Structure 1
């Protein structure tokens, strides 16, 4: 699988998606100092990366710097 990570835990902006061997979102980890609506993040679980506009390739190309 792949891990897509943005931000840092020390800053309270850490976000990590683990994409499994089937290109599905397997884990979502978010550490934030500010409240956020978790329902939008829960929807990511189990989604194929292509449903997220080819998330993996855009992340590798540097087009995504923050989730």
Structure 2
């Protein structure tokens, strides 16, 4: 049994600059599970969604899609 499981998490942000609007896909269908005794390292380049995923894990920020199980 997992201590934490995320299934199909996605998060988008709408960025407006002047009249231009664009969608940033911060997370796109991310799934992971952490079992008792395991350690997970999340690494990636700047802007790859690490902070968005972390905030979603602690429910500081909701995902647009997906589920979290504790």
Q: Which TM-score applies when normalising by structure 1? A: 0.27
Q: Which TM-score applies when normalising by structure 2? A: 0.27
Q: Report which of the two structures shows the higher radius of gyration computed on alpha carbons.
A: 2
Query: Which structure shows the bigger proportion of residues in helix conformation?
Result: 1
